[in-house]
Amino acid sequence: MEAQPEEGIVQDSESGDVNDGRDEADAVATAPPPSPAEDDADMADRLRQSGEGIRLELKKVIIGQDDVVEQVLLSLFAGGNSLIVGVPGLAKTLLIQTLADVLDLDFNRIQFTPDLMPSDITGTDIIQEDPETGRRHLTFMQGPLFANIVLADEINRTPPKTQAALLEAMQEKQVTIQGRTYDLPRPFFVLATQNPIELEGTYPLPEAQLDRFMFHINIDHLPEDDELEVVKTTTALAGESPEAVITADDIVEFQQLVRKVPMPEPVARYAVQLARRTRPGRPDTPDYIKNYVAYGASVRAAQYLVLGGKARALLRGEVTVSFDDVRALASPVFRHRILTNFHAESERVTTDDLIEKLLDEVKPPSSGM
């Protein structure tokens, strides 16, 4: 009977050499680890696939609104907040709720009303009694702000005092109560909704609050065929439910990856030039800006053009940011940062009109600027 190699020993069938597996193990042990560039490339591909997966799951509930969905995803991967403005019945709240389900994140909805207080959002200290000792002590009870996604529904229906409770949370991702600071969960971002036509009983958002939003996203009525599909779908039995695609840890990693995307200096300079041209009072400001604008975009506009451009490049499978990425995001970035004056209102000149004219005039260097 032919002798068999001992267990754990591999015999080469051609040479007859005996290998106990240590050479292969040594080769694995001494193999160089993947380079950061390779890891980033794999993660970039995973981000793009995740974006496609999120879109597919959202389509189980949300019909059309592709631009709106993309802008919400960009703010998510860039780590920003977004203000979604549209008339009632356009699925603003449904979109955000479905997104939270698809992302498998903690989600809280805050219905903003005139009697809402800051502590109703952030939380407050309450007195509790120790059942064993009978001693009383203060315990912080978290408010609905402590979630990954916070829906600030009809944010302009609450007074500025309560709106201001979101300022620190949206910028520093923390809240301060009675001199103590509490970190919010990661990732954290606010998606707020606003009705543009019903102004009675509302409070305009102050500029400092608006500037905290990365995007001002306009959601409009669907084309006829899409609207017909909405009517048919929502009046039938419930369809397939969306499934979770990525986790909170994935989003945090994607947000870090976005900041690593290369930004060519000419593209970054172009973003800065666009933001600077919106400010009246500068010698290089176009006449239509001087005539119709009371206050232009802050430096945050250029920052969000660059950061959003990086996220947009990754979602589209690109490795660097282009002029087209910056131009595509000019409207949602500038829309709430350009404050028009009475002259513009009297002539019905909108912010979108000014942004469109600005993009026509300020061309990228490659276009002969």
Q: How far is the C-alpha of 38 from the C-alpha of 110, rounded, in Å?
A: 42
Is 217 found in the same domain as 319? no
Q: Is residue 1 situated within a structural domain?
A: no
Token pair 């001693």 is found at 135
Q: What is the value of pTM for the model shown?
A: 0.81
Q: Is residue 28 situated within a structural domain?
A: no
Q: Is residue 148 situated within a structural domain?
A: yes
Is 254 found in the same domain as 171? yes
pLDDT at 140: 82
Is 234 found in the same domain as 295? no
Residue 163 burial (C-beta neighbours within 10 Å; 0-12, 13-18, 19+): buried
Integer CA distances (angstroms), 165 to 134, 143, 153, in order: 34, 11, 15
75-84, 95-104, 190-199, 277-286: which is most confident: 75-84
Q: How far is the C-alpha of 62 from the C-alpha of 150, rounded, in Å?
A: 19
Q: How far is the C-alpha of 298 from the C-alpha of 213, rounded, in Å?
A: 12
Q: How far is the C-alpha of 103 from the C-alpha of 248, rounded, in Å?
A: 7
**Residue that finishes a domain, picked among 211, 238, 260:** 260
**Residue that finishes a domain, picked among 241, 260, 279:** 260
Q: Is residue 177 situated within a structural domain?
A: yes
Is 335 found in the same domain as 241? no
Number of domains in the chain: 2
Give which of 331, 318, 322, 337 is closest to 357, Cα–Cα.
331
Give which of 350, 360, 279, 357 is closest to 85, Cα–Cα.
350
Q: How far is the C-alpha of 219 from the C-alpha of 227, rounded, in Å?
A: 14
Domain that holds residue 153: 34-260
Give which of 69, 81, 284 is closest to 168, Cα–Cα.
81
Is 238 found in the same domain as 134? yes
Q: Is residue 242 situated within a structural domain?
A: yes
Omega before 185 cis (within 30°)?
Answer: no
Q: Is residue 8 situated within a structural domain?
A: no
The CATH number that applies at residue 119 is 3.40.50.300
Q: What is the pLDDT of residues 152-165, one digit of tens each?
A: 999 988 888 888 88
Q: How far is the C-alpha of 218 from the C-alpha of 62, rounded, in Å?
A: 16
Is 177 found in the same domain as 278? no
Is 91 found in the same domain as 148? yes
Is 267 found in the same domain as 191? no
CB atoms within 10 A of CB 309: 30
Q: What is the pLDDT of residues 32-64, one digit of tens each?
A: 544 555 588 888 999 999 999 999 999 888 888
pLDDT at 10: 40
The CATH number that applies at residue 364 is 1.10.8.80
In the 3-class helix/strand/coil scheme, how is the chain assigned residue by residue?
Answer: CCCCCCCCCEECCCCCCEECCHHHHHHHHHCCCCCHHHHHHHHHHHHHHHHHHHHHHHCCCCCCCHHHHHHHHHHHHHCCCEEEECCCCCCHHHHHHHHHHHHCCCEEEEECCCCCCHHHHHEEEEEEECCCCCCEEEEEEECCCCCCEEEEECHHHCCHHHHHHHHHHHHHCEEEECCEEEECCCCCEEEEEECCCCCCCCCCCCHHHHCCCCEEEECCCCCHHHHHHHHHHHCCCCCCCCCCCCCHHHHHHHHHHHCCCCCCHHHHHHHHHHHHHCCCCCCCCCHHHHHHEEECCCHHHHHHHHHHHHHHHHHCCCCCCCHHHHHHCHHHHHCCCCEECHHHHHCCCCHHHHHHHHHHHCCCHHHCC
Q: Is residue 19 situated within a structural domain?
A: no
Q: What is the pLDDT of residues 158-193, one digit of tens each?
A: 888 888 888 888 888 999 888 888 999 999 999 999
Residue 304 phi, psi dihedral angles, 5° rounding: -75, -30
**Residue that finishes a domain, picked among 203, 231, 260:** 260
Is 290 found in the same domain as 221? no
Task: Tell me the percentage of the chain whose pLDDT exceeds 90.
Answer: 40
- Picking from 22-26, 152-156, 244-248, 317-321, which range would have the lowest pLDDT averaged per residue? 22-26
Is 206 found in the same domain as 330? no
Does residue 210 carry a pLDDT above 60? yes
| pLDDT tier at 308, thresholds 50, 70, 90 | very high
Q: Is residue 130 situated within a structural domain?
A: yes
pLDDT at 12: 44
Is 216 found in the same domain as 328? no
Is 40 found in the same domain as 106? yes
Are 97 and 151 contacting, i.e. CB atoms less than 8 angstroms apart?
Answer: yes
